[in-house]
Structure 1
């Protein structure tokens, strides 16, 4: 199995040159499976915005924290929290300063938009 990686520069927003380099690296690799981890929601927005530029025919997953879990740099929630779909709450309790916007504001906005539909 051949694996290729590309690590873009760490910054709040990518330049057009950065985006072009990422797209070219992905297209050159022609992956059978593409994992994108840039933090949420940056990774989802990037994948959505650049999807039509990607000349690939595979599954694309935006997985963020999964890389941290497998690297052992972030501990996953205990199994009980996972089974009851509360891993988000565990992460919020563990890292409130970093996660509160995502899980409190983001979830409320999501629910508001669902209700509007």
Structure 2
């Protein structure tokens, strides 16, 4: 089952079903990508047609943010739960450890990757981390991008976690589709969270959809535009979508 919020398709899955799909693709060595969509992702796609096309081509788009979960519940699926990128990463690491499928970590910094690798191995002792790499914080040349692909292929990993931030990580995954024989999962800030370098919002704030406020307070200079412009715009546009749906249903 799927739902559409603004122009984006969202897949109505839970963590188990998402991991089941990823496992099937990983075993078959499918070249595809998974997006954990929050309001920032939805609004970026709304303003940028090229980014919207990237979302449309994703194998799986999960409702990462509570506003999207509430939106799906209002539209059609009262039982929908959140499938949060950082938690999906942990759920898949647990599944990968049980299934003997290896992962690759791509993004952030070498320091973060060292801490992240240590934390994941402590939490999932049988998890196979085939490799990791922190690309430079600039646009990659075609040669550099090919070298990164070759490095991942050589590792044998069937799933690649990508933490380059929105929209860069989704654009990177879309470029690799058909060229990198692995399932790519964009997880944004998850590397920082699970390495212990960045604090997560308390779970009670997440349940009430207030994670954005916590992150705005902790990183105001970087995130103010994302939350103070995108969030109100989303409320207005989704409200209009609901009204149009009600009018059509009469």
What's the TM-score once normalised by structure 1's chain length?
A: 0.77
Distance 2:205 2:187 in 1: 19
**Superposition RMSD on alpha carbons, in Å?**
2.5
Q: Secondary structure at the match of 1:24?
A: helix
Match of 1:65 in 2: 189
Distance 1:110 1:49 in 2: 28
- What does 1:56-95 correspond to in 2, within 5 Å? 56=182, 58=183, 60-95=184-219
In structure 2, relative to structure 1, the CA distance for the partners of 1:113 and 1:43 (3 Å cut) is: farther
The yes-or-no answer on 1:42 pairing with 2:181 is no
Q: Secondary structure at the match of 2:185?
A: strand
Match of 2:62 in 1: none
**Which runs of 5 or more structure 2 residues have no equivalent in the other structure?**
1-126, 242-250
Distance 1:50 1:113 in 2: 32
Equivalences, count: 113
Match of 1:6 in 2: 133
Match of 1:98 in 2: 222
Larger of the two Rg values belongs to structure = 2
Q: CA deviation at 1:61?
A: 1.2
More strand by share: 2
The yes-or-no answer on 1:31 pairing with 2:157 is yes
Match of 2:148 in 1: 22
Distance 2:132 2:178 in 1: 21
Q: CA deviation at 1:113?
A: 8.4
Q: CA deviation at 1:100?
A: 2.3
Query: Is the CA contact 2:158–2:181 (under 8 Å) kept in the aligned structure 1?
Result: no
Q: Secondary structure at the match of 1:28?
A: helix
Q: Secondary structure at the match of 1:5?
A: strand
